[in-house]
Each structure stands twice: as structure tokens, then as C-alpha cells.
Amino acid sequence: MKKLFFLASVLILGLVNSSFADYCSPKPKDSCFDDSDLFKKDDCVVFVNGEFLYWRADAGALEYAFQYNKSATVGIGTTYGLGDYKIADYDYDPGFRLSFGWYNAPDFWQLYGQFTWMRITGSDSENRTDIAAEPLVGAFFQNTILGAELQSAASKLKLNHELADILVSRVFITNPHLRLRLFGGFTGGRIKQIFNVTYTDTNALSERIFNKWKFVGIGFRLGLDIDWFWGNDFYLTGKLSTAPLVGRHKNYAKITADTSGVELQDIKYSKYRGAYNVDAYIGPSYQKSFECSRIEIFVGYELDGWFNVHEIIRSTGSSNANALTTEQIARINSGMFLMHGLTARLTVDF
């Protein structure tokens, strides 16, 4: 009797345990979506990228005038500026980037080239107020050249940027939802800025300041980009790359005025130097695989920074053949140069 009871108890516990296990175990999803090969990692493809860039630029040392907005206190003979700097600024302008490459599926590496083109402009101006004790003052020399107070000041900026890369990347599919690409190769190109300032005095005479710098160089680029699948064919896409370059930097500054028929300043220099570029973007992308192709649509924000290229020559003293001065003739203001804005890309694999 005891043996029968024991056997019955074991049988009942076994049935209960089996039923509980069936109830608690996750059941296979009844879905037609297959996420095991989102990136078509086993297919050799040729790919083409077309990118629309809508960027602006930012840089230091672009002040062109100073507008007083308050009068000096009575009894104080010397002041050091009571107002606001007027700074030249870039607008948003369109550009493009094109890429063409090949993905070797069996060995998980890519070879591709890309070319970036940007032209960004900007302008700003300022007129003096009607208050005599609140003048408009130039950030460059103007009083000793024009001999009268300024009526207006105007600035114009123009940037040209062309960059080409030849890169090889190693593709890592760490899991079905994440793709990493470590890339490196050669980079080279040109970046050039023209900065014009025009001062007009109360006698309608003008002074024109011209400053241009240009860097042309080549170097190496190293970076990483990611694609992280979130669901419904949407991904988080990002990229970071750095590039040291070496090349020739040229700078040229000139001043002319209606009060003189000759150039009042003509300074130039040219030397080899190193420069450094950092580029990064991040944003959402829509990626869809088809039987014979794959597409990607990306919209994000991109930052492109340059170091040791941006320099503005400013006069600080004057000299003439009869009385040469020991003052510093000019100083050079320098700083980081940044381009940034919207980047929209269409990629087709075939």
C-alpha cells in the first residue's frame, strides 16, 4: 500500500512539474521578421553614398568693430571700452559629400573613397548711433588712416573647404543588432578663409582690410562608426574620426584706403606646419534590406573641427621710412575653426 502511494505521489508531482514548466517557459515568437542578418554580412556589395550638408562655421578673432553704448563718466579722461564688440559671423550654406566603395564579405573589410565640398559665406554691418559720445570704433586701425570718426563698419566672410579620403575599414558584427567599422587611411585637402572689413568715416572716405589664410595638407585618418538596430528598420548611427595632417599654411593681410593711393599694409608669410582635424556625427537612420540590394537614409548632426589653421593678422603699430618704430607691427590672433550642421545621407548597396 505504501509503495502504491509513493508511486502515485511521484507520478502526480511529475505531471505537475511538467505542466508548470510548459506554462513558464517562453514560447517561440510567431513573427515573420528575421533579424539574424540585418547587415547582409555575407554579401559582397558595391555601395554609393550621397550626402547633403547644410553647415555653418564658427571661429574666434573675427571682431571687426566696437560700438559704445554708454558715455564715459564725467571727470574720467580715459576709458577702455564701454559697449559691445561687433563680430563677423557665418551663415548656413549647402555642401555635399560623395562616397564610392566595395565591401568584401568573406573577409569583412571595405575599401572606399570620399570627397567633401563646402562653401560657407557670411556678412555683418554696424552703423554708429546718433549720440556723439558713443562712437563706433574699428577693431583694426582706422583713426590714423581715415582721420575722422566712423559712420559705418561692414564685414564679409568666405570659406572654401575641399577634402578627399581613401579609407579601408574592418567590419565587426558583434551581434545581429550591432555593427562596428574601424577605419583608417589617407586624407588630404584644402581649407581657405577670406575676411574683408570696410570702414567708412563721416566724410564718406573708406578703408579696406583684407585677410586671407589657406592650409593645404595631407595626412592619416583613423576612426570608428557604429550602426545599432533599435527596431522597425530604425538604427542609431554614429561616427568619430581624427586626422593629423602636415602641409603649407599661407597668410596674407592688406590695408588700402581712399586717403592714400598706396597700400598701407602688405604682410604675408608661408610655412609648413601640422594641423589636426576631428569629425563626428550622430543621428537616426532607416535601413532596409532587399533581396538584391540594401538602402540607408541617415539624418544627423555633424561637427568638423580644425586646429592650427585659423589665424588673423591685426596691425598694432605703424612705421615709416623717416621714423622707424620699435613697436610690434602686427599681432596674430589664432584659435579653433569649427564647421557644423545638418548631414543627410542616402546609401545604396547593390
* pLDDT tens string 106-145: 889 999 999 999 999 999 999 988 887 788 988 887 666 7
**Residues 179, 227 contacting (CB under 8 angstroms):** yes
Q: What is the pLDDT of residues 39-92, one digit of tens each?
A: 888 888 999 999 999 999 999 999 999 998 887 665 566 677 788 999 999 999
Q: What is the pLDDT of residues 211-269, one digit of tens each?
A: 999 999 999 999 999 999 999 999 999 999 999 999 999 999 999 988 777 788 888 99
CA dist., res. 48 & res. 98, Å (int): 8
The answer for 69, left when phi > 0, alpha when psi is -120 to 50, beta otherwise, is alpha
Domains of the chain: residue spans and CATH? 44-321+335-349 (2.40.128)
pLDDT greater than 70 at residue 100 = yes
